[in-house]
Amino acid sequence: MGCEVDDLADVLQEMPDATIVAGATDVGLWVTKFLRDISPVVFLSHLDELRRLDVLDDVIEIGAGVSYTDSRAAMTDDYPHLGAFWDRIAGWQIRSMGTIGGNVANGSPIGDTPPILIALDATVTLRKGSTRRTVPIADFFIDYGKQDMAKGEFLESISVPRPAKDAIHAAYKISKRRDEDISSVCAAFNVTVVDGMITGARIAFGGMAATPKRAAHAEAALVGAVWSEATLITAAARLGDDFSPLSDWRASSEYRLQVSKNLFRKFWLDQQSDTPANRLSA
Ligand SMILES: Cc1cc2nc3c(=O)[nH]c(=O)nc-3n(C[C@H](O)[C@H](O)[C@H](O)COP(=O)(O)OP(=O)(O)OC[C@H]3O[C@@H](n4cnc5c(N)ncnc54)[C@H](O)[C@@H]3O)c2cc1C
């Protein structure tokens, strides 16, 4: 008899310190690079229920074990701007094994899907034993290395709202190499424009803080303003109030802040042409 998600929930209740392994594209490095002992290990990849993806009326329901490759069609059908972005995540081998659940649960400030999912107002469903709870993904990332997930709890699924009317989207990844590189900065825009006025804005960044995070001041500068290049530049100027990025070997603090501001202008310019929003992204 095969294993089911109920069995996973039971095992994690019994062994709350076990290391959960999905695609092992992060965890594998803990072993091969850092020689960490990760036992006991609970491997998820054979759990069919976690690999389900359902496109429902209101949401795309993505099981935590769905890979980048297996989620691409559903995500890009609804959000065509994500096509070019998806192809910038790692390389095809990692995209075939790596899961969105692992990218989220890992909680890295430079993971590529969290800013996208925050901008799209996704929620995550967490399960401990038979108890489930759903939290907005924006609240899941508490601090560096600290996610809203208790011992014995696991990520079961991610719900991504279907596209809203009048929303304009873009996603950008800035990295040193085109393929197989981690973001220096990642940005996701979800801006609602009605009759030339901005009525809603969710803009999230990776690589700019200890967690993937919304640009609250920049968003506030957009909402209620005219949809124009000047408005976007004004909003970009508020990024210094939202973020004090670190310098590391990927990028300096100054670079991260400057390139983030530039992406607001690029967002505007991309909307003025009929090219997909991030076709030319770095
Ligand atoms: C060469 C290479 C290139 C990469 N490029 C990128 C890139 O461009 N962008 C990017 O964002 N990442 C990149 N990564 C990192 C990695 O591929 C992703 O973070 C991937 O999504 C992790 O998924 P996984 O299934 O392999 O997770 P795993 O390695 O199996 O697990 C990652 C973490 O999540 C936990 N976890 C997994 N599933 C669950 C669950 N259901 N519930 C609770 N906890 C869970 C694990 O315990 C672990 O802490 C790269 C990695 C490599 C090796």
pLDDT digits (tens, 9 = 90+) for 69-103: 999 999 999 999 999 999 999 999 999 999 999 99
Full-model pTM: 0.96
Kindly give the number of the ligand 1 atom that is closest to the alpha carbon of 64.
41
Q: Does pLDDT of 165 surpass 90?
A: yes
Pocket test of ligand 1: the residue of 8, 25, 50 to mutate, having most ligand atoms within 8 Å of its CB, is: 25
Q: Is 208 a pocket residue for ligand 1 (Cβ < 6 Å)?
A: no
β-strand pairing of 41-43 with 19-21:
parallel
Structure tokens at 159: 């719900």
Amino acid at 3: C
User: Given this model, what pLDDT does residue 281 score?
Assistant: 40
Angstrom distance (rounded) from CA 205 to CA 215: 7
Nearest CA to ligand 1 atom 37: 102
Q: Is 187 in the pocket of ligand 1 (CB under 6 A)?
A: no
Q: What are the two backbone dihedrals, phi and then psi, of residue 238, each rounded to the nearest 5 degrees?
A: -85, -5
Average pLDDT over residues 138-146: 97
Closest CA to 125 of 154, 156, 151: 156
Span 224-276, pLDDT tens digits: 999 999 999 999 999 999 999 999 989 999 999 999 999 999 999 999 986 55
H or E element at residue 168: strand 167-174
Q: Is the shortest distance between the CB of 23 and ligand 1 below 6 Å?
A: yes
Is residue 219's pLDDT more than 60? Answer: yes
Classify 124 in phi/psi space as left (phi over 0), alpha (psi -120 to 50) or beta: beta
